[in-house]
């Protein structure tokens, strides 16, 4: 794990004085350098870790890109995390980056399993009435995050999935003052070799211009996950329909690849602004 490599690097001159396991254990679940900062009498190791991570060629995960984005965007002080999952990102945004975070996760089993993470953020809900209540009160956020939701198999058929996507987009626009950050599985690198997953797809007959549902074998958990890959034109039309302008597109990338191309990218992030 890159975090542990960074800590060993920072504490390499003190290994005879300390029990290194005490400093590594907190990193199993989250990026937390508080103990190391206290020991070294320093601050802001998060920024130094970012440079370290990029320098050694770690493959960029979507959560790292999201955290990097919000760490730079100081103006986004309130964030709504739509489809918050384990609430790891919400937790970091709230407690490391000092954002005020509200979160919504439809899977109550996940929320119960990771309830300790949810307790550490400003507000959360697991029923759509939670969102409806916020919208009825005209509660809006500086930024709305929707990570790996639109490429999730939301329903058995594509017709049903598209209906749900429209409902999600209505929620995102209603909750956002101006900014929306949407993360999807990158549909452009299905024939590439990934460091984090194996795409179980017919790569010979794959058509980038069509919608595909297929499974991925995730290396970290050794579990399979189903994702829906749609052509970029689908998202361009979707955002246009909801009067959203694409300000920027960010792709995860393998930093050991050469400077002329990305050899693989698993995630794509749309940095969106609501048009007046």
Q: Which helix (H) or strand (E) holds 181?
A: strand 176-185
Question: Are 17 and 126 within one domain?
Answer: no
Strands (E), 56-148: 78-82, 100-104, 123-125, 141-147
Question: Are 100 and 6 within one domain?
Answer: no
Q: Are 188 and 208 in contact (CB under 8 A)?
A: yes
Structure tokens at 125: 């809900």
How far apart are the C-alpha atoms of 219 and 205, rounded to whole Å? 25
pTM of the model: 0.78
Q: What percent of the chain has pLDDT over 70?
A: 92
CA 68, 73, 77, 82 torsion-angle sign: negative
Question: Are 104 and 196 within one domain?
Answer: yes
3-state secondary structure of 35: helix
Question: Are 50 and 163 within one domain?
Answer: no
How far apart are the C-alpha atoms of 276 and 263, rounded to whole Å? 38
Selected residue with higher pLDDT from 124 and 212: 124
pLDDT, tens digit, for every residue of 56-79?
A: 444 457 888 899 899 999 999 999
Question: Are 158 and 51 within one domain?
Answer: no
- What is the mean predicted confidence (pLDDT) over 125-141? 98
Question: Are 126 and 217 within one domain?
Answer: yes
Q: Are 208 and 231 in contact (CB under 8 A)?
A: yes
What is the reported pLDDT for 59? Answer: 47
Residue 141 has pLDDT above 70, yes or no: yes
Residue 83 has pLDDT above 60, yes or no: yes
Structure tokens at 231: 């052509």
What is the reported pLDDT for 151? Answer: 95
What is the reported pLDDT for 214? Answer: 87
Question: Are 39 and 137 within one domain?
Answer: no
Name residue, tokens 């049903």. Answer: 160
If pLDDT is split at 50, 70 and 90, which confidence band does 258 have? low
Domain boundary (15, 37, 55) is at: 55
- On the 0-12 / 13-18 / 19+ scale of CB atoms within 10 A, 43 is exposed
Supply the range of the domain harboring residue 93.
62-274
Residue 205 has pLDDT above 50, yes or no: yes
Task: Work out how many domains the chain is built from and give that number.
Answer: 2
pLDDT, tens digit, for every residue of 154-173?
A: 999 999 999 999 999 999 99
Q: Which helix (H) or strand (E) holds 184?
A: strand 176-185
Q: Report the CATH number at residue 169.
A: 3.40.50.150
Exposure letters 57-88 (e unless 16+ CB within 10 A, then b)? ebbbbbbbbbbbbbbebeebebbbbbbbbbbb
Exposure letters 142-180 (e unless 16+ CB within 10 A, then b)? bbbbbbbbbbbebeeeeeebbeebeebbebbebbbebbb
pLDDT, tens digit, for every residue of 7-57?
A: 787 888 887 788 888 888 877 767 788 888 899 898 888 878 876 665 544
């Amino acid at each position: 794990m890159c975090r542990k490599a960074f800590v060993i690097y920072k504490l390499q001159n003190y290994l005879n004085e300390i029990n290194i396991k005490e400093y590594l254990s907190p990193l199993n679940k989250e990026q937390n350098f508080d103990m190391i900062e206290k020991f070294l009498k320093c601050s802001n190791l998060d920024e130094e870790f970012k440079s370290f991570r990029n320098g050694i060629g770690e493959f960029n995960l979507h959560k790292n890109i999201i955290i990097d984005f919000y760490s730079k965007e100081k103006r986004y002080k309130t964030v709504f995390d739509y489809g918050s999952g384990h609430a790891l990102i919400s937790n970091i945004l709230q407690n490391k980056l000092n954002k005020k975070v509200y979160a919504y996760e439809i899977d109550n089993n996940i929320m119960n399993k990771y309830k300790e993470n949810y307790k550490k953020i400003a507000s959360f809900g697991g029923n759509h009435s939670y969102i409806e209540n916020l919208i009825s009160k005209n509660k809006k956020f500086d930024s709305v995050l929707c990570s790996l939701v639109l490429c999730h198999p939301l329903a058995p058929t594509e017709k049903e999935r598209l209906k749900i996507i429209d409902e999600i987009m209505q929620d995102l626009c209603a909750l956002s003052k101006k900014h929306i950050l949407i993360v999807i599985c990158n549909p452009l690198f299905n024939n590439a070799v990934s460091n984090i997953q194996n795409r179980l797809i017919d790569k010979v007959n794959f058509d980038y211009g069509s919608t595909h549902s297929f499974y991925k074998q995730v290396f970290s958990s050794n579990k399979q996950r189903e994702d829906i890959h749609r052509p970029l034109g689908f998202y361009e039309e979707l955002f246009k329909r909801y009067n959203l302008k694409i300000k920027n597109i960010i792709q995860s990338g393998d930093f050991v690849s050469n400077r002329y191309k990305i050899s693989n990218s698993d995630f794509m992030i749309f940095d969106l602004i609501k048009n007046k």
